[in-house]
Structure formats: structure tokens, C-alpha cells
Structure 1
Amino acid sequence: MKGVNDVRVREVYVRWTGIVLLAMIMMFLHKEPEDSYVSKYFVSFTFTTIFWNGAFMLFMLFRRKYPQIRQTPRRLLMTILSLIAFLTIGEPLLCLLFQFKGWEQLMDPTEAFGHVPLNFLCAMVIGSVYENVYFFEQWKKSIQLNEALKNQQIRTQFEVLQNQMSPHFLFNSLNTLTVLIAEDGKIAVEFTEKLSEVYRYILQNKDKELVTLKDELEFARNYIFLLKIRYPENLHAVFNVEDKYLDLSIAPLTIQILVENAIKHNRISKNHPLNIEVFVDRSRSVVVKNNLQKKNVIEKSTKTGLVNIRERYAYFGHKNIDVITTDHNFLVSVPLLQVKSETQKVMAPSV
């Protein structure tokens, strides 16, 4: 917090020092009617203060609206257009104000529009300094974030593999398979195939940042098939996803993690069946929804849950992982991503 305050104080100091100095320069660049230097500087300082601070507020406004590096072209375009409008309108209005106050000898309103190009040039020079500093800071933060998230990705891969290939998971699967072989050989064969597909998917995609929704859904169906053998009448899963969304991308194992969390934190019994629904909402986000029936004792977690998903999506600049809890349901909404093949840039698909 202290560091943030120091930066703000330094920015204010630099800004007002710049205003004082620029006002002196502009006093000589603008050909105003002859008068005392004090009067000229008063006019120049007033204009410089208003235009500099106005431009600064525009920079901050569009910086908040388009904060990411990939949004730089849009941020610059909107800032430039706003500056042109601000200076074109502001210069004549200030001249009229001076004239209204009886200071017409200090300012000739007919020259107001002639000042706009020079004022705009000064604003662009100042703005380029602000933008370069901001861009460098964002670039530095991006490098630091990428390094941190690479480390997190490594931990994620280990934790997911550790969780999915743990002796507990494997023991349950093999135990279920043993029972199936004795009772239903056909289902046992299908169970073995699905189990191998689950492990194959994990091993093939553990190093990938993104997979298609189509592949992730197929994996999730295989995973849920294994679970439904253990809970034949007590676990119900429904997938409602239109084909038009299947080519969009998602971080691998996202749906599986959310399904696993639902299994881990909720009771599953004949009297309390667990219902899981996977669908894509209007904002093109995958939603995993389950009815809420919390266990009294929660199983030990390896922390491959919501925090993990949030951190992985922060890598792509998307932090809007929505979690909604109602009296009866628990929902997690994860945005689908779109990869531009020519640049390999990741972005949220247009709605």
C-alpha cells in the first residue's frame, strides 16, 4: 500500500512540475495580445492546468476501460479521439469564459481553433510518456505473472496427476472392475475402455494450456461413466451443449475438477441423489451445476479446485470465474476461450 501511495505522490509532483514548466513554454509559443508577463503566464497556466488534468483523466478513464496490453490499439484510438474532441471544444469555451470575465485583452477568441493543433501536439507528447510508462509496467507485470503461472501450471499438473492417479482412485476403479467382471463382462469391458481413455487424456493433455471443448466434454463423459458405475442410481449427469461451441477452447481438466468437487463435497445416496448439469450459457461460458447437499465431513483435498482454475485462467487474462451458491444449487461458470490461429492469441469469443 505504501508503494502505491509513493507512486501516486510522485505522479502528482511530476504532473504539477510539468504544468508549471509547460505553461512557461506555451506562453511564448502562443502569440497573445501584448500584456504583462504575469497576465500572460496566468492565462497560460490556467489553460495548461485544465488541459493537462483533463487529458490525464482521459488517459486514466481509458486505461481502466481497456487495461490489458492486447487492448492497447483500442485504448490509444479512443484516447486520441477523445483528446481531439476535448481540445477542440475546450479551447473556445475557455476563451469565451475569459471574455465573459472581462479579460478579453488577454485572449483573442478568433485564434482559439488555431491553438488546437499545438495543444494537441503537446498532449500527445505528454500522453506518450504516460502510455510508455504504463505499457512498460504492464509488460513487466506480464512477465512476472507468466513466470508465476508457469510455476503454478507445473504444480497443477503434478496435483492433478497425483489426485487422479492416486492409489485411492486406482483402488476404487480396480475394485469396481473386479466386481463387474464377475457380474457383467460386457460392462466390465466398457469400464476398462473408459478408464484407459481417462488416463490417456490426462497424460496427453497435462502439458497443454488449452483443449477444445469437444475433447474436454468427451473426457468428462468418460470420467462420469466411471463414477456412475460406483453410484448407479444415485448420480445423474446431463450435458446440454450445442455443437456451435465445441470448437472453442477451455483449460484441460476444468470440467473434471468441477465434477470431482461436486462428488467430494456432496452426499450421494438413494435418498439424496446428486444431479450434475453441464451447459453453455448466453455469455459463452461453461456452467457446471449441481444440487447442494453438503457432506457433514468433507474429504481431504489436494487443492485442485476453484483456486486452481482461477489461477490458470489468470494466465490468459480472464479472471471472471463466477461461483454462485443458492439454497438448493451450486454453480461455477468458466469462460470459453478462442484462439486466433495466425497469432496464437487467446481471447474471449464475441457474444
Structure 2
Amino acid sequence: MQPDLETRLRGTVADDSMLTEYRRELTRWFKIAGMTAISRQLVSHGDGQAIRSMLTEIHTHHGQLTNPMFEYASQVMRDAVTEERSVPDGFGNMIAAAAHPVPAGIVRIAPPEHHGTYKMILDQVIARQDDIETASIPSTLMSDTRAEENIRRCTEIINRHVPRDLVDLPSFANTIVAFDHPEVSGTSVSGATGLVFVRPEPRIVDTIDHIIHEWSHNKFELILHSYQLWTDDTRLHRSPIRDAPRPLYGVFHAIYVLLVVSDAMVHLMELDELRDGATHKVDSFLAECDASLRSLETEPSLTDDGRLFIDICLDWITTIAKDHAAS
């Protein structure tokens, strides 16, 4: 019996089982797509050997399953097989990056030796941005000590002060890549659960916001594997902190992410250096989410779970606001 929607949205107790189930499915994808790609000669001989080697490791140790690059490489192979084309340039580097297990229960900064692969993925994500100007600006990966210390300090603060039953970083953000871009502050990648790109900020509270924000996107994407909240992807609605209406997919994602960030920020108000920034974020995000949820109440394409999502989130806003007032 799967956990109820509220348990999945507001807690982390079901996260491990959700990830375990997904990674079992992912292993099947990798095996089928990998062996098909080899038999159809869609990968080089060397990459084919690497795929076979990884399959052996998976069945022996299962360590690669926690590496988000394993998921990404699997998706790339699956797309190549479906479209009957060779895997893209750089696939061998993806396999090399995916071959390194990510120890359970930790958050790691992306290893510099694989930055070329992560940069390729980030550039593809930014190129798909709606804003043409934003999409045309190149990004830069950051490997300097200051950026790494910024990220590590933020993860330590989150782990120490935000309850694990709200945000458990290693589950959906076990690999963090620091980058710089004038218009993009962070992004997650569909098809790489656990991978987040974050722009380190001068204010620690803003970097923390970015990390939890992208963690929440990864988690909600997996929740959507189990729950259908709407039926019409063409419907547009008011979205939090966006000027223009967005498709329901983006609206639901934004609401969920901002509520997780708001809930976390209430716990961070106990730290003097974060209090003012955290307070402003909670006040702003709750107002934006409430307005978006109210506009969704009459949306005809909502499923029963979609309407339940709205009720859960409105109740969540009330709880966060009370905790905020008491802090």
C-alpha cells in the first residue's frame, strides 16, 4: 500500500521506499536500453563494454543506483533506442561519471574530473529556457574553494537546523554542482534524480533557498510518477513569483517547492544571520502560493488527487504561518 499524498508531500518517511522502487525500475530500463543499444550498434565497442561492466557492478553492489548520472545515462540510451539513432557525443563520459557510486546518506560536491559532463547537461537545460536571452548566455561551472565552502556551509546548516522529516538532503540532492549564470540561480534535471545545479550567492540564506528549491523539484517530480494531479497539460494558471501564466505542470511544481522552502525557512529564523532574509521569503512565498492555489480551485482538469493537493497545501500554508508567527 503506497503512502498517502499528504505523507509524501509534507514528510520524508516515504522517500526511501519511493526512491528504492524507482531505482528498481531504473535498473530494468538501463539493462534493456543498454543491451538493445549494444545489439543495434548504437554505442561504440568501448561504451558497450562499459555498459556491460556497469550491469555486473549493479547486480553485485547496487552502488551506482544512487548516482544521478546513472539515471541520466539510462535515459539517453533509452531515447537513442526509441529513435533508432546513435547515442550523442559525450556518452562515454556520462558512463564514466555514472560508474562512481555515491555513498548513501551524504551530499557531495560534483567531482571536478566530471565537470565537462555536468557542464554539457547544464548547457542543454539552459538552452531550453523560455527566455531567449537567458538561453543564449553561457554558464560557468565553479570549482574554486570559496564556492565549495559556500555550498558545504549551506548543506551543514540545512542538516543541522531543518528537520530531516521535512528535508533530507541526500535523498534528492546527493550531487551538487556549483555554477554561475546571470539569469539562472539553480536548476534540477529531469532524468537525474539527486543532481542539482546551484549558484552560490553572497547571502547564505539565498544559497540555502536554491538548494532546498532544487531538492524539492526532484522530489516532486518523483511524486508525479505515482499521482496524476491534472489531466490537461495545455491549461494555464497564475504561478507563484512569475509574471506570466504557466502550464499546470509548472504551477504545481512552483507551489510545492515554495512551500517546502517556506517551511524550512521558519526553522532557520532561529539563526540571527538568516532571520531577516528567511522572514521575507516566508512572507512573500506564502502569499504567492495562496493566490495561486485559490486560482486553481475552479480548474476543471483537476483530478481528485489534484483537489486534495490544493487542500493539503492550503492547510500547510496555515500551519507554516502559525509557526512563523510563533517564532
Q: Please state which band the TM-score falls in when normalised by the shorter chain.
A: under 0.3
Which protein, 1 or 2, shows the higher relative CO under an 8 Å CA cutoff with sep ≥ 6?
2
TM value normalised by structure 2:
0.26
Structure possessing the higher radius of gyration over alpha carbons: 1
TM norm structure 1: 0.24
